[in-house]
Amino acid sequence: MALDSKVPAGAIADKWTKHKGEIPLVSPANKRLLDIIVVGTGLAGSSAAASLAEMGYNVKAFCFQDSPRRAHSIAAQGGINAAKNYQNDGDSVYRLFYDTIKGGDYRSREGNVHRLAEVSRNIIDQCVAQGVPFARDYGGLLDNRSFGGVQVSRTFYAKGQTGQQLLLGAYSALNRQIAKGRVKMYARHEMQELVVVDGKARGIIAKNLVTGEFERHSAHAVLLCTGGYGNVFFLSTNAMGSNVTAAWKAHRKGAYMANPCFTQIHPTCIPVSGENQSKLTLMSESLRNDGRIWVPAKKEDAEAIRAGKLHPNDIAEADRDYYLERRYPAFGNLVPRDVASRAAKERCDAGYGVNKTGEAVYLDFAAAIMRFGEEEVHVKGLKNPSTAEIKALGEKVVESKYGNLFQMYEKITASNPYKEPMMIYPAVHYTMGGLWVDYNLMTTIPGCFALGEANFSDHGANRLGASALMQGLADGYFVAPYTVGEFLSTDIRSGKIPTDSPEFEAAEQAVRERTEKFINNNGTKSVDFFHKRLGKIMWNEVGMARSEKGLKQAIADIQALREEFYADVRVLGSANGMNPELDKAGRVADLIELGELMAKDALERNESCGGHFREEYQSPEGEALRDDENFAFVSAWEFTGVPAEAQLHKEELTFENVELKTRSYK
Amino acid sequence: MDLTLKIWRQNGPQEKGEMKTYPISGVEEDMSFLEMLDFLNDKLINEGIEPVVFDHDCREGICGMCSLFINGEAHGPGRKVTTCQLHMREFKSGDTIYIEPFRAKAFPIIKDLMVDRSAFDRIQRAGGYISVNTSGNTIDANAIPVPKENADKAFDAATCIGCGACVATCKNSSAMLFASAKISQFSLLPQGQPEAKERVLNMVHQMDLEGFGNCTNTGACEVECPKGISLENIARMNRDYLFASLSSNK
Amino acid sequence: MATTSKGLFGSSLARKYWMAISGLFLCTFLVGHLLGNLQLFVSGEEGKLAFNEYGHFMTTFPVVKILSWVTYGAIFLHTVDGIMLALQNRAARPEGYVKEKQSANASWASRKMALLGTLTLFFIVVHMKSFWYEMHYGELGLDANGNKDLWSLTVKAFEQWWYAAFYVIAITGLAFHLSHGAQSAFQTLGINHPKYTPIIKMTMTAFAWLIPAGFVAVAVFLYVVQPGQNL
């Protein structure tokens, strides 16, 4: 099947307006006859469900958590971008569009990205109207901060809890529709299968996690807002329950998976501390506004630190290597995430790592504390303050800016970041890849849409900070509610979709069989045992640096792991009733298949771009070498039975409004 | 570390539960409390015993899914932390740790340590929102300045993660800290004013219907709240409700 | 036991308002009562006559009579409302914890308000039997001015060690009850402000301990001095 992105013709700035004006409308009377299923209640899901219900559609929303408010969007810390130009620093829709395309290393679709930049402004207006308490300045107007990869301040924030506040805003909009009976909410329900009837997505099989029952739900369209698949690495900043099952089931039923290997490794996470660790915690990128990243310049110092014989505070300024400032003087510590992550890995691989395992670098606030302290001294008009006094004043300022993050760090590591530098290391954070969608956010299965992190469309090979929240809400509030109309307007005569069709029957049967297989498997190893092994393979071979040899090995290893998993996994308890181990087994089974496809995708992409770094394709200085001639396309994979044998379809990317350039932050 | 865990096991909502004892060794200080339970579960699975069921998701203290009443306190002995942020270095080798589900009539047990907190969602649905439809042309975000102090206070109230520690801790199983946090957030913002009266009346009414207890101002909720939500919010709710009752036309 | 009505009657918040309002009213009653009691520091015939005069005034002056009926009403409301709240609160947690560390997060008094209130109610019943009932319906002698001799009844009661001891214990219980209740009433009525709450808390804490201290001082004085023996 040829991929048609359906991006409207015309000037980039007019595409969306024109398209919106031309989408066939569904009359209010007909909207009442149309059912829509929304899977997932994060930013994209909650906002889409609420908006569609407001428009008059019948919406059913599903989430596996005990409440829609708990979706993992809630954990986003830093902020949300919008081209408001409130700071009068030269920001514009075009600049946000340009930054996003460039930050994504020219692997995203121009039309989608420009639309994202356009609606970014509406998001802020909408959220403020909903009562989202963004940070404000003393005049009562909205405050902004700066994020990696850009030179303007366009990030709106609510301390280090922006995702929480935005999600609770969307959740409140959703609640309003639930209260009105316009949305029927199914919490503690997980989608197990997509039902396709006559080539169209017509419903899902959902599992009631509390009772273990399988339920058939039909609809005229299915929206997958199920987030990313970072948990394929086992250790990531994702929530424990985040999974790929919904997207993967759609993939198996005909939806193409696009750019699955584009994974964002976030540079500032708390390093791994032990074998029993279940999750990695992010330290917001906003810390790089004021923190300076360094490692010892001398190897022997790094070794002494690792052995516990030397304290970082005792290393003289001259013996420190602020490697980001050294390598990228223009952007310094605020280079994009992929660049910062690779630079950290490069230093640690070279033997300059600073924790026991040698996989950590310092994020140091000492300079910022002194700088803020001196400002305060000036403001307060103090005479001859001692260093300790300046420090104390500076610490107060840092606390007001990053207090909750510092506290979180101290809780986890038992080390005080005001007194000694933080230790950080890159960790899996976000997946730019996802289900392939056209301009209407529809996958290759008609009637099946993908929103937010679950689709691939806006971030190319690397996402800029504070853009995930923007995309989730853009898709949910302002894009999908309009674009579903194009598909649904042809469906107004279909009537209620029956759930007793052979397609529903077969889908439910498949789910039942899989569940019984796990329960009766009588294996010897826990689900986590396999998940951790998958994670190790993925991190080592499909992580920050990838090679042909390693990827081939990874594919073989994952295939072997999959066989072992099905033969030897042990799931106790029964299928009737709450059984988290059973649910986890289903998720890990899908992650294993996905891992194989990611390795395959990474292997086929013979270039380095954004978060995808192939060791074979780098400059002598270790910078990524992109190959626009041969790889300026989206890889969209069609499932054929074995992930590694998926069929590749290419969507060529054309850049008419930005010039393809080598990304430089030097 | 070697520990003795006393854990509430209950097979289903209607079944009878009991405390069961599990000795465990090899626990490391750097483990979070939930990682310690993962570790236990892995051991139980290897022994053919059904693992302990508990709610958890983000494991970074923000989703509000983890619960657990540990050694007599919601989210354990730490302050301003959720169970997932509690680390084993807070305990010593040889300790006995009691692990129980959050208890309230409005939070029925689903299994073991997992409870049903959907009552909280129903309270929110009764009015925890501002009635604004999605629209590309609401007024500009900066059209109405909000005094920084109010914006900050609204934010502080809005940081509630809905975990239910306040209910679990309160000797009366009262949900007032939770309900008042949402009511306060909107009460402090100009956007929340048009529906303020209806909101407080309806949300309190729903809270009562769910069977939560009353506030007797012991202040325990504020102490145990992982986000430090202030009792000031309860006072604000009390005030708003009083004025709303007196001035409402209904 | 769920509360099902809205507004100022029946909702959980309304019950709390009535508790707070009746409680605060009873606090003002305590002040009045104490002022009367302080006259007992004046011994001898002079004190006796003055005290009985005061007793006569308190039982006959119309405004005071109305106030006393409001007081009975407040006690009744505070009691009934308190019992309903306590029952509701108990019903909100049918199965308790195996291990609970309440001392970690709340003061003893705040957790024992129902118990302290019950003790106080019991005291009120005994106290009213001892004095109020006798004054109204008992057969008291008359003093030189022809007023009922409440003074002698009172001082004699406190000359007995067990009565004085019971009184002191009950008033101490009341003090704990007040130590939480008096300031908490403001919170219930929605009065919480970063600037004024510390002042309210300090004032009401002082109130909670000083007023009972006054009552106890009178009781101790009567027991130690035994003014009834000298007449």
- B132 CB neighbours in chain A (<8 A) are 126, 129-130, 173
> Average pLDDT in the B117-135 region?
97
Tell me: pLDDT of A457 over 80.
yes
What pLDDT is recorded for position C162? 96
A526: contact with B, CB 8 A cutoff: yes
Strands A35-39 and A58-62, sheet pairing? parallel
What pLDDT is recorded for position C5? 63
pLDDT tens across A478-510, in order?
999 999 999 999 999 999 999 999 999 999 999
pLDDT tens across A13-61, in order?
999 999 999 999 999 999 999 999 999 999 999 999 999 999 999 999 9
Instruction: Spell out, as residue ranges, where chain C has pLDDT lower than 70.
Output: 1-6, 230-231
Nearest CA to CA, how far is A28 from chain B (Å)? 16
Residue A588 counted as domain residue: yes
Angle of the B176-187 helix axis to the B196-209 helix axis, nearest 10: 170
| A288 annotated active-site | no
What pLDDT is recorded for position A150? 86
Is A526 within 8 Å of B46 when comparing Cβ atoms? Answer: yes
Residue A628 counted as domain residue: yes
Quote the number of domains for chain A: 2
DSSP state letter for C41: G
SS3 B207: helix
SS3 A461: coil
For residue C136 the two structure tokens come to: 């109204």
Nearest CA to CA, how far is A617 from chain B (Å)? 36
Break chain C into its structural domains and give their ranges.
12-93+108-230
Residue A448 counted as domain residue: no
Kindly report the average pLDDT of chain A as a whole number: 96
What pLDDT is recorded for position A275? 87
Please list the alpha-helical segments (H only) found in A489-579.
Answer: 502-519, 527-541, 548-568
CA–CA separation, B217 and B233 (whole Å): 12
Nearest CA to CA, how far is B137 from chain C (Å)? 37
What pLDDT is recorded for position C147? 95
To which H or E segment does residue A361 belong? Answer: strand A361-364
CA distances for A365 relative to A119, A292, A321, angstroms = 36, 7, 15
Residue A624 domain boundaries? 510-632
CATH number of the B118-247 domain: 1.10.1060.10
Residue B64: pLDDT band with limits 50, 70, 90:
very high
**Would you tell me which residues 587-616 of chain A have a C-beta closer than 8 angstroms to some C-beta of chain B?**
none
B164: contact with A, CB 8 A cutoff: no
B100: contact with C, CB 8 A cutoff: yes
CA–CA separation, C29 and C37 (whole Å): 12
For residue A577 the two structure tokens come to: 């009733």
Tell me: pLDDT of A404 over 90.
no
What pLDDT is recorded for position C231? 60
pLDDT tens across A569-592, in order?
999 999 999 999 999 999 999 999
Interface test with C, best of B14, B217, B242 (most C CBs within 10 A): B217
CA–CA separation, C21 and B238 (whole Å): 13
- Whether A398 and A515 share a structural domain: no
Is C7 within 8 Å of B216 when comparing Cβ atoms? Answer: no
- Whether A523 and A379 share a structural domain: no
Is A477 within 8 Å of B49 when comparing Cβ atoms? Answer: no
CA–CA separation, A280 and A273 (whole Å): 9
Residue A347 counted as domain residue: yes
The residue from A337, A347, A546, A626 that is catalytic is: A337
In the block, tokens 């009850």 appear at: C177
Residue C104 has its nearest CB partner, among B73, B205, B239, at B73
Strands A633-638 and A361-364, sheet pairing? unpaired
A328: contact with B, CB 8 A cutoff: no
SS3 sequence of B49-106: CCCCCCCCCCCCCCCCCCCCEECCEECCCCCCCCHHHCEHHHCCCCCEEEEECCCCCC
The reply to whether CATH 3.10.20.30 applies to domain B2-110 is yes
Tell me: pLDDT of A2 over 80.
no
Residue A584 counted as domain residue: yes
- B14 CB neighbours in chain C (<8 A) are none
Chains C and A touch (3+ CB pairs under 8 A): no
B31: which residues sit within 8 A by CB, 6+ positions away?
A274, A276, A277, B39, B87, B88
- B181 CB neighbours in chain A (<8 A) are none
Q: Which one of 3.30.420.10, 3.40.50.2000, 1.20.1300.10, 3.30.70.980 gives the CATH number of domain C12-93+108-230? A: 1.20.1300.10
Residue A262: pLDDT band with limits 50, 70, 90:
very high
Residue A149: pLDDT band with limits 50, 70, 90:
confident
pLDDT tens across B83-107, in order?
999 999 999 999 999 999 999 999 9
Is A573 within 8 Å of B50 when comparing Cβ atoms? Answer: yes
A629: which residues sit within 8 A by CB, 6+ positions away?
none
DSSP state letter for A56: T
Looking only at Cα atoms, what is the longest distance across chain C? 65
- Whether A523 and A421 share a structural domain: no
Residue B146 has its nearest CB partner, among A140, A529, A580, at A140
User: Which chains touch B (3+ CB pairs under 8 A)?
Assistant: A, C
Nearest CA to CA, how far is B111 from chain A (Å)? 7
Residue A147 counted as domain residue: no
For residue C58 the two structure tokens come to: 């308190």
What pLDDT is recorded for position C3? 47
What pLDDT is recorded for position C2? 43
What pLDDT is recorded for position B250? 67
CA–CA separation, B14 and A112 (whole Å): 51
DSSP state letter for A455: B
Is B158 within 8 Å of A178 when comparing Cβ atoms? Answer: no
CA–CA separation, A186 and C139 (whole Å): 74
> Average pLDDT in the A64-93 region?
96
Percent of chain A with pLDDT over 90: 93
What pLDDT is recorded for position A209? 98
Q: Which amino acid is at A484?
A: V
Q: Which residue of A has its CA nearest to B143?
A: A141
- B51 CB neighbours in chain A (<8 A) are 572, 580-581
Q: Yes or no: say if A633 and A652 are a contact pair by the CB < 8 Å rule.
A: yes
Residue A353 counted as domain residue: yes
- Whether A405 and A276 share a structural domain: yes
What pLDDT is recorded for position C230? 65
Q: Which of A369, A391, A426 is the last residue of a domain?
A: A426
**Which residues belong to CATH 3.10.20.30 in chain B?**
2-110
Task: Estimate the share of chain A in helix, then strand, then coil, as percent rounded to the nearest 5.
Answer: 45, 15, 40
Residue A2 counted as domain residue: no
Please list the alpha-helical segments (H only) found in A104-156.
Answer: 110-130
Question: How would DSSP label each residue in A556-613?
Answer: HHHHHHHHHHHHHB---S-SSS--HHHHHHHHHHHHHHHHHHHHHHHHH--S-BTTB-
pLDDT tens across B6-57, in order?
999 999 999 999 999 999 999 999 999 999 999 999 999 999 999 999 999 9
Q: Which residue of C has its CA nearest to B102?
A: C97
Strands A320-321 and A647-652, sheet pairing? unpaired
